Structure formats: structure tokens, C-alpha cells
Structure 1
Amino acid sequence: MIKHKAHIYTDVFRSFDTTDLNNIHIFSGRVLDDRGRELLSVFSDSKSNIHLVEFNANQMQFSIDGHVIDFNDSKYLESIINIENNVMIDSTTLGLPEIYYLIKQFINLNFLEFKIIYIEPLTYNKDESDEFYRLSHYPIGYKPIPGAVGDLHHDDLELGIFFIGFDSSRMEIALEEFQMIQGKLIKTIFATPAFSSGLEMESIVPHLNILTDNPKFEIDFCSALDPTSSFEMLNFYKRSLDDGKKLFIAPLGTKPTTIATALFANLNSDVSLLYDHPMNLENRTSGVKDWHIYSVYLTPIV
């Protein structure tokens, strides 16, 4: 298998113009809020091909345009895109599994350049009766992502990395369901600077009880805005492991940290993913603020 190293470049736009782009293929999920509607508005023209991508965690099925495909089989994707196309992933409407499998297929097809979009909301919606944000619910819970599954009991799995978001119940449930990981070295990563000033406290405060109950958990910080920050952090932590030791990642935080996790797991086949497959609530956010365009460049390592 050919190994790759990655570089990620970030651009931020108030709006996104596709005028100078041709043969666009954008892979996205179901529309739930203003950001998804904005995405469809921008790309709904004759130059753009919009592909619906879904992962059914209960049935372990990955689909593109309604076609259920094998995680490692790129034949369908090869039939609809080629190296000359502008290939994009909309992470706004997609979760970790879809982003992970799309990147895996792009690498299989030797697509060494592609873009990942994240549309920042103007506001996150909060129930006035609730102190904290509740943007999703979790009827599925923690289920494996084929291709990135490791034995959490095994001694060679030394380090766990939790990227943290608003909802502390996600980490609480992981620690309860997988009690063996509490004996590992655990890094709890908060996103700061946040997309907007003050949002970092919306993540830190709900997790204070967990950190108090687990004083051995180490705290670190990475940018909420730029996946390069978390990607480089993952590289640093992996290099710090002793020979033969492995790590797992639980991307429960901002979408840029999820993007970094999906890319990193594809470039490091011994990395395990711990994920609870949230179902995002409709109209969980309002408005559209900025478009974050992450250009990914892969270089084969000879």
C-alpha cells in the first residue's frame, strides 16, 4: 500500500462563488438547516453534480446516490468522477463515517487533490429551558467504523484522544461503555480559539465534572477553525508513542477536528476510531456566517 503525507490549506469566504469552476462533483448529506439550504442554492446549477452520501450505522452500509457500495470498492465512484473534476466533500451535512469513507475512496482512485467544505452557522440554537446546547441525539450509540476498528482492551493501545464539543454526555457514555479505556493515557482536547469568542466555555464547563472525576486525564487545546491544527496534533501524539503502541481517536468536537481525524485515520491504518453516530436535529443552527474551504493535497511517500 502506498503511504501519503498530507497538507491542508484553509480559505475563508463570506460567500462561495463557483463561477470559475467546472465539472464540480460535491458529495453531501441531507439538508437540516440554513447551511444545507445555502449549499444547495450555490451548487444547484448545470455545472455542479450533487451526490447524496449516507452511512447507516445499524446496517453498516455506505451509500452514494442510493447505491450501497463496499467501503473499499471504488468502482461506482470511478464511474462518475475523474481526475480532471473538481471534487468536494461538504462536511457540514456529513458525519465522520461518510467523510472517512469518501477520503478512503479518493485515495484508492489516486485523487491527490480535493476540497472539504465547512459552512459556519450564524448561531447555534439553544432551548431556553436548557443551560447547555443540545444539537443532536444519539439513538444508535457507539458502533464500530469498519476499517478503523481496534481492540480497546489490548495493551498495545496506549493512548486515547477525545476531541470535545458542547455535549458532555458523549464522553460520559464512552467512559461508561468502555471502562477499559480509563486505564489508558487520555488526552481531552478543547477547541480554542473557537469559531466565535466565548463558545470554548460552552465546551469546557459541561466537561468539568468528567475532568474532576478523572484527574489523570490530560488537557490540551487546538484550533476550532482549522483542521491543520488538530491534524498536526495527531501526528505529534502518534510520533510520541513507543514502538508498537497505538492510539484511538474519539472525534466528538468541531467539524474541523472531525475532518482531521478522518484524514489522519486514512493515512494511518493502525488508528482506531470511537464514534457514537449522532443524528443531528433539524434547524439546529440558524443563518450562515462563513464558508471554510479546506484544500487537501496528498503526496505519495516513496
Structure 2
Amino acid sequence: MIEVIDWQLSVVSKFQEKLPQEKYVTAFTCPAKYDDRGDWVNSYLTQVADTVLTVSYDPINIQLTIGNKVFGIQDFDGYTLPNGKVLVDATSLALPEVVHLFRLLKHKKTPFDVIYVQPSGYNERKEKSLDRVVSFDLSDDGLGAQQLPPFVGFSSDASMCLFLGFEGHRVGSIIHSDEYNTNNATCLIGAPAFQIGWENQAFANNYKQIQELSKNMNARLRFAGANDPIKTYETIDTIYTSLKYDKKGLCLAPFGTKPAAIAAAQFVVNNDGVILLYDFVQKKARRSSGTDLIHVWSFAHNLK
């Protein structure tokens, strides 16, 4: 299994003063840069890595493209990694790319770091909704919620864990779908949030979904820090363990913060029988502004 063994936290100005003593052999990032954070990370990667490769996942053909190489998600033996440490840019990469890179790096037993830059703010919609809730203009609709191979299974028999973010309609699409069982759902809220008060925005943009789920007495809320994948992982593990006693499966829908998605990716890579959902939304340009805290999580392989 892969586990976090170190967590470095800094602001941009301090982080740039102290570059790693040893360069990464490879850094993985997204082909597109959407905002200030993406621009900053792209510049940083060129300073700290010998090679920077873009990664993209094709949900239609179920293929991963790394650099100029295309291969199936079960063909990791055909991909060669140079010896040395690897850096994964979780700021720009989406969940499908992150989880498949985690699978690849676990398969190759390669130690790696994950970098994530928090924004100073998110892009709000100009028009106010009728209920006066501040909504955010972060992404366009994608293919819709679907299981991400190879983390697939019978979702009707699995209990749902819904990660709540600023885009409540993404969770709403699952609640109103006949394909997924939300009768015994757990909602995971990122609290404490990146900034004081942002957890209220997550509640406000999901209150209709929470209200719908609360009609069922089995629905529940759980909390983990919005930028804390370690606590989020522990929370997922608690849910997973309790469901195993009842001989039920777990289905994760990580539509919240990226650190929470990192925890979900780590968890499905480490544990069998977990279903992973993603809706392949299309990120909008300039969806966030500024750079705030920078996180670097170091992952190692535990052979136990």
C-alpha cells in the first residue's frame, strides 16, 4: 500500500526560497493550465524536475496518455520510469489522472511527492440565484457521473460517500439518478475549509442535496479538513470498515476539494472492492485566482 510519510506546508514566497536539494527525475502535470495556480506550478516544475510530462485520461477508450505514449490502464508493465523520485502535480491534474498515476507508481514501487497549491479565491457567478446563494463558475458539465475503471462494481448494493464542494449540482445528479443508491449515504464536508467561512459556502451550495438526503434516517454528515488528505483517508477508512461488518460495499464520489480527492485516490488504490465515481466536468479557464498555501505530501510504499 502507499502511505503519506511527510507533509510540507508553506506560502509561495517561502516555498520558492528553498528548492529541493535533489531534482525529481520526472514530474507529471496537466496539458492545460487553467488559472494562476497552474501557471505557478508549471514554472516550478521546470525548475525542480529533469523531465516534465503531461498526462491525460481518455474515458471513451479507457486509455492513459503520458507524454507521447498511449497505453491501456492495465498495461503499466509497458511503461518505464527512470530511477529516482517523482512529482505529481495535483493542482492541475483531475481525479482520473491522479488515481491512475497512483496505480502506476504503486505498481513500479516508486516513491513520489504530490504538490497542491490552494487558491486565494474562486470565480463566482455574476448572476445571483433566486435563493440568493453565492454560486461558483468553476466547470462545464461533462459526461455525467460514471464508474472509473478498474474501480467498478454493483453500485446499487454499495453505500455512497459523497464529497461536498462548491458545485452542489454534481452531487445532485447522483442523488436524482436511478443508478446509484443514496439511501444510506454519508456526506463528507471539508471543514475546516481552506479559508474561514468557505465551509458555509459548501453547505449553502449543497443544502438542497443535504435536505433531500436527510429525508432518509440513515443519511449522515462527517467532517475532515478541506486540505487534509490524511484525516480524509482515516474518515473513509472508518466508513469502509463499518460497512465491511455489514457486508456492504463502498462507493466514493469525490466532488469536493482536491486534497480530499487525493485521499480517495490513495484509498481505492490501497483497498479492494471500492467503487470510484467521476463526472468528467470540464474545468473553466481562470476558475480561481491567486496562490495561497502550498502542500507537498510525500508518499512511500508500505509492504505490510
Partner of 1:286: 289
Partner of 1:98: 97
The structural deviation recorded for 1:43 is 2.1
The structural deviation recorded for 1:300 is 0.9
Partner of 2:8: 11
* Alignment check: 8 A CA contact 2:24 2:87 kept: no
Mean Cα deviation higher: 121-130 or 30-39: 121-130
Q: Which amino acid aligns with 1:229?
A: K
Q: Which amino acid aligns with 1:223?
A: G
The 5 A counterparts of 1:223-302 are: 223-241=225-243, 242=245, 244-301=247-304
The structural deviation recorded for 1:49 is 1.2
* Alignment check: 8 A CA contact 1:72 1:105 kept: no
Say whether residues 1:124 and 2:122 are aligned partners.
Answer: yes
Distance (whole Å) between structure 1 residues aligned to residue 88 and residue 102 of structure 2 = 9
The structural deviation recorded for 1:97 is 0.8
Query: TM-score by structure 2 length?
Result: 0.90
Partner of 1:68: 70
Residues 1:177 and 1:243: Cα distance change in structure 2 (over 3 Å): closer
Q: Which runs of 5+ in 1 are unaligned?
A: none
Residues 1:8 and 1:219: Cα distance change in structure 2 (over 3 Å): farther
RMSD between superposed Cα atoms in Å = 1.8
Distance (whole Å) between structure 2 residues aligned to residue 265 and residue 47 of structure 1 = 28
The 5 A counterparts of 1:1-302 are: 4=1, 6-15=3-12, 16=15, 17-29=18-30, 30-45=32-47, 47-78=49-80, 80-82=81-83, 85-111=84-110, 113-130=111-128, 131-154=134-157, 157=158, 159-183=159-183, 185-215=184-214, 216=216, 217-241=219-243, 242=245, 244-301=247-304
Distance (whole Å) between structure 2 residues aligned to residue 266 and residue 139 of structure 1 = 24
Aligned length: 290
Distance (whole Å) between structure 2 residues aligned to residue 180 and residue 39 of structure 1 = 36
* Alignment check: 8 A CA contact 2:56 2:97 kept: yes
The structural deviation recorded for 1:264 is 0.3
Distance (whole Å) between structure 2 residues aligned to residue 271 and residue 144 of structure 1 = 10
Residues 1:27 and 1:76: Cα distance change in structure 2 (over 3 Å): farther
Distance (whole Å) between structure 1 residues aligned to residue 23 and residue 2 of structure 2 = 27
The structural deviation recorded for 1:47 is 4.6
CA deviation digits over 1:50-85, x for unaligned, max 9? Answer: 11000122332211013211212224542x422xx1
* Alignment check: 8 A CA contact 1:6 1:298 kept: yes
Distance (whole Å) between structure 2 residues aligned to residue 228 and residue 182 of structure 1 = 25
Identity fraction in percent: 26
Distance (whole Å) between structure 1 residues aligned to residue 2 and residue 47 of structure 2 = 34
The structural deviation recorded for 1:289 is 1.3
* Alignment check: 8 A CA contact 2:155 2:181 kept: yes
* Alignment check: 8 A CA contact 2:2 2:299 kept: no
Distance (whole Å) between structure 1 residues aligned to residue 246 and residue 300 of structure 2 = 28
Q: Which runs of 5+ in 2 are unaligned?
A: 129-133
Distance (whole Å) between structure 1 residues aligned to residue 269 and residue 220 of structure 2 = 25
Distance (whole Å) between structure 2 residues aligned to residue 221 and residue 249 of structure 1 = 15
Residues 1:46 and 1:119: Cα distance change in structure 2 (over 3 Å): closer
Q: What secondary structure sits across from 2:146 in the alignment?
A: coil
Mean Cα deviation higher: 55-64 or 278-287: 55-64
Distance (whole Å) between structure 2 residues aligned to residue 193 and residue 125 of structure 1 = 20
Q: What secondary structure sits across from 1:153 in the alignment?
A: helix
The structural deviation recorded for 1:45 is 3.9
The structural deviation recorded for 1:19 is 4.6
Residues 1:26 and 1:171: Cα distance change in structure 2 (over 3 Å): same
Distance (whole Å) between structure 1 residues aligned to residue 48 and residue 193 of structure 2 = 36
Query: TM-score by structure 1 length?
Result: 0.90
Distance (whole Å) between structure 2 residues aligned to residue 147 and residue 138 of structure 1 = 23
Q: What secondary structure sits across from 2:227 in the alignment?
A: coil
